[in-house]
Amino acid sequence: MRIRDVSHGDLEKIVLLWRQFAREHFEQDRRLKYKPDCLNKRYILFENKLKSKDTIFILVENKDSVDGYLLAHIEDISSMCVYNMDKICNIESFYVQKNSRSKGCGRELMNELFSRLKPKRVKYVFIKTLAKNMEIGKYLSKQGFTPIHKVYAKRLK
């Protein structure tokens, strides 16, 4: 198992992993069906994230297969003067293939993220998950995350 930065040549594999991620979300909540053209848009979004200096975009691979990825963004919120924190990290996308779970892939991705955040003086890491996704909730608790608030959604007609 090896953790490394995502390169431009990895983007097609990452988009395919994201599609699996989206399908799992759809299985948990039928409102989350993705649009037919979203894979191309997701590729462009990931490509743009590679260019950002405030992005950490890493993957875990075994031999020739990419088993998971983590995309996070560091944000300076010191000007908000609301919370007692200057820099935060938002995990925008995090996925490990089903057949690679419980093998340390997610833990290694998270540990790599945490080690990269320390020298940047980031004190808090946030991640949003589906309320129905109990598996990720248990995993995040093991990683030291605690729930801080709930997000509610209403579809407007």
Q: What is the DSSP string of 99-118?
A: GGTTTTHHHHHHHHHHHHHG
pLDDT tens track for 8-23: 999 999 999 988 888 8
Does the domain made of 2-142 have the CATH classification 3.40.630.30? yes
State the pLDDT confidence band at 42, using cuts at 50, 70 and 90: confident
Q: How far is CA 147 from the centre of its chain?
A: 16
Edge to edge, what strands does the sheet with 65-76 contain? 2-5, 55-62, 65-76, 87-96, 124-127
> Best-predicted range by mean pLDDT among 44-48, 76-80, 152-156?
44-48
Q: Write down the pLDDT at residue 107.
A: 93
- Per-residue pLDDT at 7 exceeds 70: yes
- Under the banding of pLDDT at 50, 70 and 90, the label for residue 113 is very high
Long-range contacts of 102-106 (CB under 8 A, 24+ apart): 103/1, 104/1, 105/1, 105/60, 105/67, 105/68, 106/68, 106/139
State pTM to two decimals: 0.85
